[in-house]
Structure 1
Amino acid sequence: MASEDEPVAKAAYDELADTYADEVRTNPYNADLEFPATSSLVPDVDGKRVLDAGCGTGAYTEWLLDRGADVVGVDVSEAMLAHARERVGDRATFHRADLAAPLEFAETDAFDGVVSALALGYVEEWRESFSEFARILEPGGFFVFSTGHPFDQFPFGGDDGRANYFDVELAEKNWEVDVPYYRRPVSAVVNPLLESGFRLERLLEPRPTERFEETWPERYEKESRYPVFLCVRSRLS
């Protein structure tokens, strides 16, 4: 678990960075469930300035660069950033930054778009983060993000009676190490977005692709019927 003075999942991702760099390319939940849905929401980025917020090991950074974007990537884990730099070289600029804090490197109206894939679940209070994204975006700029689906993360019928769906609560998932994250209700996903000046354009609850079925058939049926991720496209009013 993170100490009180560092972001909640930093230590876990520092430890997981090497494994994550390999698995993000092939893990069906990333490559064949979340990525196809989130990337489908991103508008044309050719010649656009895009912030990859929570860039991790650089999967979306590389994808955006390949489509002609001028990309700045940020992440709280220097170990993850090292993999991102190795992946794309000097094609992008990277900063170590906490999405829960002001992005001091970025001027007002500095970007045309923000993409944040599966990173905001490690931030407790989204209003401050979304307000900061609104500050650094030009009017009309897009904000695309993905997060764990609230219905997948809440232990309906399987908890000890203390969990509260309507609260933003700290939880843990176990990969190779325990990774803390914040689960939240649907209202705590949508309302901070609207209150920060964004308008909701599209929402996806992705289903696994055919390649997911080929790769992990024993999980395909369940994930075809139950939500895992929530993917959102919005635009600054």
Structure 2
Amino acid sequence: MQPTDSPTIEDAYSKLAQTYQSQEESPYCTDLEFPAMTDLLPNIEAKRVLDAGCGHGRYAEWLAEKGGDVVAVDNNTEMLEQARQRLTDDVDIRRGDITEPLEFADDGSFDGVVSGLPLHYVEDWHEAFTEFARLLRPGGFLVFSAQHPVDEYIAFDAENYFETEQEQMTWSAGSDEVDVPFYRRPFSEVINPLIETGFQIDELVEPRPTEGFKEKKPESYEKRLKYPTFLCIRASKSTA
């Protein structure tokens, strides 16, 4: 059980909300994770798409610009307020926990789900994938990104690769530092929950940095060419 004085993800993101744009503008996001994710997405024009764990609305904004009918969901009120300031009225912004049923959404009411980097805050991915499967029509797509299991295992010097366990990062929020809890997991706990909740994997990408990353962060470029940082997956809901 997590100690009562340990930081929660809700508290962490409430503190990060005002400065989170700096995280989005990091080359790790703009020149590594984001281009890999958008390359995985099919044509979403006139498609109803859920941005699950939308944060500041980075993906919701992109999806709307590409012609999607977008619903953006996050569980943190401060992050949602930032998303409302960023997004147009065409995007339906709602509060919701992606590991619990979204009561406003009917079964099979979405063509696609996009989830950019919120899943490592979820301990059991069966919960989120079960909800995504409920929301998607047969054949609908799920595109998501996460920290790479190998990167987390090495970076946090874990004793047992096969355990799913809570770790903690420290991020900057202006002049303050914020402790951000998350869960690292083995590769099997990425793939098996997908299969067990009715998805088939269409493509798996371990993205490498772009030339833009090289220009902005040359000291890390060579390492990130050879060392996994993120994992991006496109899956589809079974039609059976």
Q: TM-score, normalised by structure 2?
A: 0.92
- Tell me if structure 2 keeps the 8 A contact 1:32–1:212: yes
1:20-31 aligned within 5 A: 20-24=20-24, 26-31=25-30
Question: After TM superposition, what 4+ stretches of structure 1 lie above 3 angstroms from structure 2?
Answer: none
Deviation at 1:3, TM superposition (A): 7.9
Task: Name 2:212's counterpart in structure 1.
Answer: 211
* RMSD of aligned Cα (Å): 1.6
Render the CA deviation track for 1:10-36: whole Å, top value 9, x for unaligned: 110111011112441x21001000000
CA distance in 1, matches of 2:189, 2:76: 25
Find 1:174's aligned residue among 127, 151, 170: 170
CA distance in 2, matches of 1:123, 1:105: 21
Render the CA deviation track for 1:34-88: whole Å, top value 9, x for unaligned: 0000111011100000000010000100000000000001111111111111111
Task: Name 1:228's counterpart in structure 2.
Answer: 229
Work out the percentage of aligned pairs sharing the same amino acid.
53
Secondary structure class of the residue paired with 1:199: strand
Secondary structure class of the residue paired with 1:235: strand
Secondary structure class of the residue paired with 2:16: helix
- Bigger mean CA offset, 100-109 vs 196-205: 100-109
- Tell me if structure 1 keeps the 8 A contact 2:51–2:71: yes
- Tell me if structure 1 keeps the 8 A contact 2:73–2:93: yes
Deviation at 1:89, TM superposition (A): 2.7
Task: Name 1:14's counterpart in structure 2.
Answer: 14
Which amino acid is 1:86 matched to? Q
Secondary structure class of the residue paired with 2:111: strand
CA distance in 2, matches of 1:221, 1:132: 39
Gaps of 5+ in 2: 173-177
Gaps of 5+ in 1: none
Aligned length in residues: 230
- Bigger mean CA offset, 192-201 vs 147-156: 147-156
1:41-120 aligned within 5 A: 41-120=40-119
CA distance in 1, matches of 2:91, 2:20: 20
Which amino acid is 1:169 matched to? E
CA distance in 2, matches of 1:49, 1:18: 29
Secondary structure class of the residue paired with 1:223: helix
CA distance in 2, matches of 1:164, 1:11: 28
CA distance in 2, matches of 1:214, 1:27: 12
CA distance in 1, matches of 2:209, 2:22: 20
Render the CA deviation track for 1:100-128: whole Å, top value 9, x for unaligned: 22222211111000000000100111112
Task: Name 1:148's counterpart in structure 2.
Answer: 147
CA distance in 1, matches of 2:70, 2:161: 36
Which amino acid is 1:10 matched to? E
Deviation at 1:228, TM superposition (A): 0.3
- Tell me if structure 2 keeps the 8 A contact 1:204–1:230: yes
- Tell me if structure 2 keeps the 8 A contact 1:14–1:79: yes
Q: TM-score, normalised by structure 1?
A: 0.93
